[in-house]
Structure 1
Amino acid sequence: MLLKDLMYGFVIVKERNALNLNELLDFTQKCYINGEISIAEYKKLYFELNKLGAEKPKSFIFNNRELIIDVS
């Protein structure tokens, strides 16, 4: 799967364009978890998006009742 295919798939599923590269990265991860793309495709897309500037949050902190995302 190429980045262009990923972007097209995002539009089909979400019925809108991705807001940013990070949203495409999240979508890529979801596709992999759901078995829609292989690990090889996931790695290729991950590295391509990362090279363009996409990032996952630096750390996740789980509280008893809420998810706190620390991006500092």
Structure 2
Amino acid sequence: MNIQELKNHFQLIKKYEAQEVNELLDFVKKCYIYNEITTCDYRNLVYELEILGAKTPELESSM
């Protein structure tokens, strides 16, 4: 799966186009958790999305 296929799958499932790469990153993670994509696809897509500027929110320490 490549980025364009991911965008198409996102639009098919969500019924709208992703506005940010972070939306696609969240979607990739969900797809991976539910075994909808392979580990190899997951790694490649996360890598490509990070190149495009996607970032995982950092958790704040609750100390």
Larger Rg: 1
Higher RCO (C-alpha under 8 Å, 6+ residues apart): 2
In the alignment, the residues of structure 1 paired with residue 20 and residue 35 of structure 2 have an alpha-carbon distance, to the nearest angstrom, of 23
The structure carrying a bigger helix percent of its residues is: 2
Corresponding residue for residue 57 of structure 1: 57
The structure carrying a bigger strand percent of its residues is: 1
Question: 1:60/1:37 Cα in 2 relative to 1: closer, same or farther (>3 Å)?
Answer: farther
Give the AA of the match of 2:6: L
In the alignment, the residues of structure 2 paired with residue 61 and residue 12 of structure 1 have an alpha-carbon distance, to the nearest angstrom, of 37
TM-score (norm 2): 0.92
Gaps of at least 5 residues in structure 1 are: 63-72
The share of aligned pairs that are identical, in percent, is: 40
Gaps of at least 5 residues in structure 2 are: none
Corresponding residue for residue 15 of structure 2: 15
